[in-house]
Amino acid sequence: MSRASRVSILEIVDSALVAVLLVFCLLRPFVIQAFYIPSGSMLPTLQEGDRILVNKFVYFVRAPKPDEIAVFNAPPAASPDDKDFIKRITGAPGNRLCVKDSALYRDGERLAEEYIAEPPNYVWPDPDHCVSVPPGNFVMMGDNRNDSNDSHRWGFWDPDTGEWQARPFVPRENILGKAMVIFWPPQRIRILH
């Protein structure tokens, strides 16, 4: 092989590596990112050790919707060290939510949540009140409702003062993207709903 051919091949390889690096640098922060599931808070939908792909672009063009599974930066009430969490969006701005009678109610309607591990064994925020989700905020809950560090643990209603203690909401700007697919392990590959 001539010296000119070797230089040409090296230039092609170099250009290809730069192109791959640029695509990766552009895709990861804005389009798609892989995440590892570290806990059972989303059982049975997501299992500990699953690896998922998250669409980070979708929420640039539209708002997150209730019942979607989303990755977000945890609020201070959930995690003081700014971890990424994954939960189901159970409430959007304007929704009224409460958990009673072993079920989640949104805007007065009992939700049929076939995807949860078991019915909630708690009342939230209390037996006589619902939570109104303020503009620009969301309520997030794990599918494993009874064993999930989620909105129902981050805040509560104080009937004596008529005010919230702590904050059960996730601001819109904290939501990173929509979970789309489990890609690992191979026997768990599937699209998420």
Residue of 5, 79, 83, 87 marked active site = 87
On whether the CB atoms of residues 99 and 105 are closer than 8 A, the answer is yes
Q: Which position among 41, 100, 148, 151 bears the catalytic label? A: 41
Would you give the DSSP letter of residue 174? G
CB 57 within 8 A of CB 33: no
Chain-centre distance of CA 171, in angstroms? 12
87 carries an active-site annotation? yes
Q: Is 8 a catalytic residue?
A: no
Q: Which residues contact 101 (CB under 8 A, 6 or more apart)?
A: 110
Q: How far apart are CA 24 and CA 18, in angstroms?
A: 10
Two tokens, residue 167:
């904050």
Which H or E run contains 106?
strand 103-106
Say how many residues make up the chain.
193
Q: Which residues are known to be catalytic?
A: 41, 87
